[in-house]
Amino acid sequence: DARVTQTPRHKVTEMGQEVTMRCQPILGHNTVFWYRQTMMQGLELLAYFRNRAPLDDSGMPKDRFSAEMPDATLATLKIQPSEPRDSAVYFCASGLVPGTGDYEQYFGPGTRLTVT
Amino acid sequence: AQSVTQLGSHVSVSEGALVLLRCNYSSSVPPYLFWYVQYPNQGLQLLLKYTTGATLVKGINGFEAEFKKSETSFHLTKPSAHMSDAAEYFCAVSERAAGNKLTFGGGTRVLVKP
């Protein structure tokens, strides 16, 4: 049963520390998305990649956030330095474009980040 | 730009009653439309989707939704609520030219009363 995995599932850190979240997309998927979910803002798209190249990162605060895909099996989202307002659940999703009639994004379980 | 509006951030239904969750969208091109469900402390799971063809689509767990272009709506229904339907539901739209990038509504939390 193929699924998106994310690590860590939970992260508590102090303000100013670096945070790295990892995502393993479903094997064969060529598109990876990073979303952030908060009570106030709901689900927001931060960035997404196609064939490991960044297509859109306009939703991401550029001064402290960075997203990369070192290889096809790993996507990372890094926050440096972290701030309390970054506390949220971060979801990774993957999909296959052009679709084969699927067009679905498959979501990971999320990383719950708390910055104190 | 595309947007999604879900009417009602919270809905309470009795077990066995009809579940109706409303979703309206705006899109400059024919959209793909989705409903996702999120159970507590979990990721999002696809309930159903509309891409082309039949405008009434059936999904998992007895849910269905109808795409109405004239009303720019994609409302989600289930004839008889079950306790296990308690969750948060998200409507989302993807413009075909945007390569599967999703824009989500604000979500509707469903409470099922015994």
**C-alpha atoms less than 13 angstroms from C-alpha of A83 in its C-beta half-sphere:** 5
Specify the pLDDT at position B34: 94
Report pLDDT for A19.
98
Instruction: Output the pLDDT for position B114.
Output: 94
pLDDT at B2: 82
* pLDDT-based confidence at residue B52 (cuts at 50, 70, 90): confident
| Residue B5: band (very low, low, confident or very high) from pLDDT cuts 50, 70, 90 | very high
Select the residue of A97, A109, A110 nearest B99 (Cβ to Cβ).
A97
For residue B98, the model assigns a pLDDT of: 60
The pLDDT of residue A101 is 55
Please state whether beta strands A19-24 and A5-7 pair in parallel, antiparallel, or not at all (unpaired).
antiparallel
Interface subset of B 40-79, CB within 8 angstroms of A: 42-46, 49, 51
Chain B within 8 Å of A28 (Cβ-Cβ)?
no
The predicted-structure confidence for B8-40, as pLDDT tens digits, reads as follows 999 999 999 999 999 999 987 778 899 999 998
Does an H or E element contain B67, and which? strand B64-68
At B28 the pLDDT is: 76
Whether A111 contacts chain B with CB within 8 A: no
Q: A110 — contact with chain B (CB < 8 Å)? A: yes
In three-state secondary structure terms, A57 is: coil
Band (B64; pLDDT cuts 50, 70, 90): very high
- Residue A47 has a pLDDT of 94
B62 SS3 class: helix
- Contact list in B for residue A48 (CB cut-off 8 A) is 101
At B90, the pLDDT band (50, 70, 90 cuts) reads very high
**Residue B1: pLDDT band with limits 50, 70, 90:** confident
Below-70 pLDDT ranges, chain A:
98-102
- Count CB pairs under 8 A between chains A and B: 48
The chain B residue lying nearest A4, using CA atoms, is B43
